[in-house]
Amino acid sequence: MTRILIAEDEPRISSFIEKGLRAEGMSTSVVADGQEAAALAISGEFDLLILDLGLPGLDGFGVLQRIQAERATLPVIILTARDAVEDTVAALSGGADDYMRKPFAFDELLARIRLRLHGTSRAEATILRSGDLTLDIRTRRAMIGQQTAELSSREFALLEMFMRHPDQVLSRQQLLSRVWGFDFDPGSNVVDVYVRYLRTKLGADTIETVRGVGYRLRGSNM
């Protein structure tokens, strides 16, 4: 089982990530202190670290330094509210493998985790198929037969969610939480808007409306 260490001191965010990863069959541990995060990161017990830069005790940069000093090969994805280019450069130069800014969509985080783990024995398929639809997670390319469909990052994340749950009806709340992130607005109609976008680009019958429940990808055949 893939073991993920979550170093995040905001309980709402760490809980959101933890629930999502466990639903994907991963094992998680959450710490809210940089010192403890550094100790666990170099323990060899985990496959990947999700690291907030603003941790108490020892910040994320300090955790990265400890990992580098121990020559640990643990993949690290930075998750932070900081948006300065200098912070991004410093984190990546300090040994981080990826960098995401808050707020974030869970499915984008999940995709990045899978990419960082692709070289392990836990590697998952990076090509999803459903009928004539093909979705390449690495290149972020969608194909309908032999034609490429140009999708925005949010459209791509929404389509990935449907294709990872074949023949399953997904509620608007599920889609909001997984694609739009931990700060989603339950009253928003953004899901309906983006489903219309996908139907326009992929075909009107691609996504079925299940009245009063949500949406389902038609003809799933992964």
SS (H, E, C) 87-136: HHHHHHHCCCCEEEECCCCHHHHHHHHHHHCCCCCCCCCCEEEECCEEEE
Specify the pLDDT at position 137: 76
Residue 51 near residue 76, CB atoms below 8 Å: yes
- Which residues of the chain does CATH 1.10.10.10 include? 127-217
- Residue 125 in this model has a pLDDT that exceeds 60: no
pLDDT at 183: 65
Mean of the per-residue pLDDT values for the chain? 86
- pLDDT computed for residue 122 by the predictor: 42
Parts of the chain belonging to CATH 3.40.50.2300: 3-116
The per-residue pLDDT for 177 is 80
Structure confidence at residue 121 (pLDDT): 41
Q: How many CB atoms lie within 10 A of CB 157?
A: 22
| Fold designation for 127-217 | Arc Repressor Mutant, subunit A (1.10.10)
pLDDT band at 195 (very low <50, low <70, confident <90, very high): very high
Long-range contacts of 127-132 (CB under 8 A, 24+ apart): 128/160, 128/163, 128/164, 128/222, 129/163, 129/221, 129/222, 130/162, 130/163, 130/166, 130/217, 130/219, 130/220, 130/221, 130/222, 131/218, 131/219, 131/220, 131/221
Judge contact between 56 and 34, C-beta under 8 A. Answer: yes
Q: What is the pTM of this model?
A: 0.63
Regarding the domain delimited by 3-116, which CATH topology (the fold level of the hierarchy) does it fall under? Rossmann fold (3.40.50)
pLDDT in the model for residue 4: 96
